[in-house]
């Protein structure tokens, strides 16, 4: 349904043009909008745009490392630098969703996926969704599978901010995108025989050392329970929290609060190290 809005041009031609452009951007931004989007960036019903209406016709082959960097709290400018402009005509101002069409090269050929970012009321990314959902597994950082019958060690590094909402730690707090990634990991673990899995939680240094140790332990245990629920044997999984003791990124104290949180993001992570017999065991 078209929406007609009058722009008052009596203030001058330049302001009139600016007003028309702003309205056009806003109108484009509301064309494909998920329903019941909350102030904290969640949707009651996720709606992906029709691929036939894409603006960047061919989509793109994204940089996987850049995609793995995307985490809750990302700004539109940061997202633009990491992934480029959105591929549909969503505009800039007042828009709470950006959509992309990505292609990935796999052993089975090129896989095409839609990727959606939903922003909160402060226009920071909070929800990260895929269509089909299985595309989330393409971001799992895992070593290549070994030959059948050989002992293999696989390492999965998952961004903590992509798994849990801020300061949350229960299994029920795992974000939709995090659930998709963990479900993919669970499928890979179940394909290994005699598998043994170590789940290790890490935090950044913001907050007290004791609180961070407790948070990392609770998150590791939540991931363990999730994997058990997806069919990975409970006796095969251990969970350990290491708090802030093993950072992978150092940041100076001179940064502002928001900049420091962003800089320390790689330290907020959950690592899964799995060993067992490779191959396609049932």
**CA neighbor of 229 nearest in space, from 259, 190, 195:** 190
Residues of the chain with pLDDT > 70, as a percent, come to 80
What's the confidence (pLDDT) of residue 141? 54
pLDDT per residue over 190-232, tens digit each? 888 888 999 999 999 988 999 999 999 999 999 999 999 999 9
What's the confidence (pLDDT) of residue 170? 85
What's the confidence (pLDDT) of residue 8? 42
What's the confidence (pLDDT) of residue 127? 86
Number of CB atoms found within 10 A of residue 2's CB = 4
Give CA torsion, residues 66, 69, 70, 75, to 10 deg: -90
What's the confidence (pLDDT) of residue 7? 41
Give residue 97's pLDDT band: very low, low, confident or very high (50, 70, 90).
very high
pLDDT per residue over 39-69, tens digit each? 888 888 888 998 988 888 788 999 888 888 8
Q: How far apart are CA 259 and CA 202, in angstroms?
A: 19
What's the confidence (pLDDT) of residue 23? 39
Q: Which residue has the higher pLDDT, 92 or 2?
A: 92
148, 276 contact by CB (below 8 A): no
117, 34 contact by CB (below 8 A): no
* Residue 131 clears pLDDT 70, i.e. is over it: yes
Q: Which residue has the higher pLDDT, 107 or 206?
A: 206
What's the confidence (pLDDT) of residue 93? 67
Q: What is the mean pLDDT of residues 90-118?
A: 87
Rounded to the nearest integer, the mean pLDDT of the chain is 79
Q: How far apart are CA 48 and CA 99, in angstroms?
A: 8
pTM for the full predicted model: 0.50
What one-character-per-residue DSSP string does 88-123 give? SS--STT--EEEEEEEEEETTEEEEEEEEEEE-TTS
Give residue 112's pLDDT band: very low, low, confident or very high (50, 70, 90).
very high
Q: How far apart are CA 23 and CA 113, in angstroms?
A: 30
Residues of the chain with pLDDT > 90, as a percent, come to 27
For the domain 151-277, what is the CATH superfamily, name and number?
OmpA-like domain (3.30.1330.60)
**CA neighbor of 203 nearest in space, from 237, 140, 248:** 248
* Residue 110 clears pLDDT 70, i.e. is over it: yes
Q: How far apart are CA 262 and CA 172, in angstroms?
A: 25
Domain boundaries, the chain: 28-137, 151-277
Cis peptide bond prior to 44, omega within 30° of 0: no
């Amino acid at each position: 349904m078209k929406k007609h809005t009058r722009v008052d041009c009596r203030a001058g031609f330049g302001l009139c043009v600016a007003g028309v452009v702003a309205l056009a951007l806003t109108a484009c931004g509301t064309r494909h909008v998920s329903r019941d989007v909350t102030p904290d960036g969640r949707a009651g019903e996720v709606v992906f745009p029709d691929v036939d209406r894409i603006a960047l016709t061919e989509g793109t082959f994204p940089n996987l490392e850049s995609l793995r960097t995307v985490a809750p709290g990302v700004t539109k400018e940061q997202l633009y630098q990491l992934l480029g402009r959105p591929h549909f005509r969503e505009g800039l101002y007042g828009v709470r969703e950006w959509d992309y069409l990505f292609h990935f090269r796999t052993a089975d050929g090129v896989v095409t996926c839609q990727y959606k970012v939903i922003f909160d009321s402060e226009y920071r990314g909070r929800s990260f969704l895929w269509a089909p959902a299985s595309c989330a597994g393409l971001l799992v950082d895992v070593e290549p599978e070994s030959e059948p019958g050989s002992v293999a060690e696989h390492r999965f590094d998952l961004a903590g901010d992509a798994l849990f909402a801020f300061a949350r730690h229960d299994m029920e707090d795992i974000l939709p995108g995090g659930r998709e990634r963990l479900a993919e990991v669970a499928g890979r673990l179940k394909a290994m025989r005699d598998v043994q899995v170590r789940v290790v939680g890490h935090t950044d240094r913001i907050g007290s050392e004791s609180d961070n140790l407790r948070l990392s332990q609770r998150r590791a245990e939540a991931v363990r329970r999730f994997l058990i629920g997806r069919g990975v044997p409970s006796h095969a999984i251990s969970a350990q929290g290491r708090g802030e003791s093993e950072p992978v990124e150092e940041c100076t104290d001179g940064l502002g609060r928001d900049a420091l949180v962003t800089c320390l993001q790689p330290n907020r992570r959950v690592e899964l190290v799995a060993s067992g017999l490779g191959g396609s065991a049932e």
